[in-house]
Structure 1
């Protein structure tokens, strides 16, 4: 059986608060092959690493990310001690120790993410292999493909492997990212035969991990990177 990459979900969400620098550092400490994170654009234009469209669930504040400035977001706290990071801060922490899976969660994230990846490639000797950009949102994937077709894309799906493959073909994606409940040995093989990698999410239970690994997926997104 080939090696299955372990990709830390929002860092190492099973150990540290999600989408925080301590969580990403923990994933690195656990030898993650990649980290997955979510981005939104805040009111002042910076890319903010947070899952939800608002800050209510994870911080001591409230409000939509898109309506808060960077300084307002930085004034908030997670667990009374941790700041919400920017994407720049996360990339600088991770360096080239593993690849970074950037999920376009908020609207209008495609162009700023493309611009930032290009900046790291041109100015800091990163490569396109250091990043994969994923989304459930067709319009964001389409926009990114139009802006820069060299950026590696991953098509997220909670509904259908067939739909993920359709979009992946439309946007020359490198991978599909289906929920693990959608996978069979046959559809994994079919996707790989079409030239796509299969990175599945979010698997935490050992029994599920072993079953999905037996399908020869390329990578597993998990809250516990050490379990893969």
Structure 2
């Protein structure tokens, strides 16, 4: 997860989600076309054990339906429209997003997968994610820099489960607290990177240097303003998650 010499690499937060409905195939395809270096998604388990790309506990905000993701089957969730009335979109499964990432031939792209917690399935989420990555042959990369997938979570326990089962797979411990990220939590679980919010970065800019001194990269979210992009570049942030991947790439190239 080494940073680019010109500045941070750009991760499309739920795809190019400022322009297209989040977590839709169209949002991720646009992000790739705009030059994103990485794609970010949130994953949850359906009642029948399928990994789907949905941020919220329910689908009420992002679809035409209603209900709790973990209480519904894949078939039930697939009945809803996750796009717009003019441009409908299907529910996106993690497997389809992995395939899109690996099939993109223009340049290597990393997939940043965030597991949501607390959830009713507990650690089964991480087990399912690892099984899916194994199915695609990317669960055991030769090194963190050459990995095509990164697993992230606000849950230290989730990061620890990934590190224990797939020690070569890069991980990000996400958090709002500089004390949490800069303290012993990241060391205890073996995270290869820390993930502060841009608000936390403003309040504690030294978090980047402290992470680097411990051999960790920094992943900052959600970076949509030009001044925040410049701050990340000045501080040496490795990856920035943004809803505007194309615009952010242009800013960094200027």
TM-score relative to the length of structure 1: 0.92
| Partner residue in 1 for 2:164 | 146
Whole-angstrom CA distance in 2 between matches of 1:76 and 1:112: 24
Whole-angstrom CA distance in 2 between matches of 1:60 and 1:104: 24
Contact 1:38 1:50 in 2 (8 A): yes
Matched, 1:51 2:69: no
Contact 2:8 2:232 in 1 (8 A): no
1:182 to 196, 200, 205: 200
Matched residue SS, 2:36: coil
Q: CA-atom RMSD, angstroms?
A: 2.0
Contact 1:39 1:103 in 2 (8 A): yes
Aligned residues: 226
Contact 2:126 2:162 in 1 (8 A): yes
1:83 to 66, 90, 96: 90
Equivalent residue runs for 1:1-16 within 5 Å: 2-16=6-20
| Partner residue in 2 for 1:193 | 213
Matched, 1:18 2:22: yes
Contact 1:121 1:127 in 2 (8 A): no
CA shift for structure 1 position 127: 7.8
Matched, 1:27 2:31: yes
Equivalent residue runs for 1:32-181 within 5 Å: 32-78=36-82, 79-80=84-85, 81-95=88-102, 97-106=108-117, 107=119, 108=122, 109-121=125-137, 129-158=147-176, 160-165=177-182, 166-181=184-199
Contact 1:206 1:227 in 2 (8 A): no
Contact 1:185 1:215 in 2 (8 A): yes
Structure 2, unpaired ranges of 5+:
249-254
Whole-angstrom CA distance in 2 between matches of 1:127 and 1:148: 11
1:206 to 211, 222, 226: 226
Matched residue SS, 2:60: coil
Contact 1:180 1:203 in 2 (8 A): yes
Matched residue SS, 1:132: strand
Structure 1, unpaired ranges of 5+:
none
TM-score relative to the length of structure 2: 0.83
Whole-angstrom CA distance in 2 between matches of 1:82 and 1:51: 16
Matched residue SS, 2:150: strand
